[in-house]
Amino acid sequence: MNIKSARKVSEFVSCWKHDEKGRVQKATVPGHKARLYQVTFSRNGKQLVVDECINPDEGEMCKGHKHSICFHALAALIHAASEKEFRLSFCESLEEAEKIKRTGGTIVELISAHSQRKCWVVYQKI
């Protein structure tokens, strides 16, 4: 996971579709070489799925989404969380997420629909 790049571009994200609870479903995220990527999310209980990350101009999936959870998806989540005054921690294991959650928050499993790679996200109110 490229969290460093995600944090750098998160302020330039546009979250433009939300579900009935105000959670992001679609966002536009800047990428390398002035490309824009459209990220689509869905939810299944405590699981958040990155359905796709594509460059709509070229019709191609981003390279990061092919093998992992791309920084575009992470940036969209960081931006959406900051709008609701939440801080996110991305964890490689559930055990790591549970340690962070001890100070409060909610754990959500984040998974890439394409690569099936996953991580855990701890949402904490600021």
Instruction: Give tens-digit pLDDT for 81-111.
Output: 999 999 999 999 999 999 999 989 999 999 9
Question: What are the backbone dihedrals phi and psi of residue 33, each rounded to the nearest 5 degrees, phi first?
Answer: 55, 40
Q: pLDDT tens digit string along 20-30?
A: 999 999 999 99
**Spans of all domains in the chain:** 3-125
| Burial class of 80 by CB neighbour count within 10 A (0 to 12, 13 to 18, 19+) | buried
pLDDT at 46: 85
Predicted TM-score (pTM) of the model is 0.96
Contact criterion met (CB below 8 Å) for 47 and 116: no
Q: What is the DSSP string of 32-44?
A: GGG-EEEEEEEEE
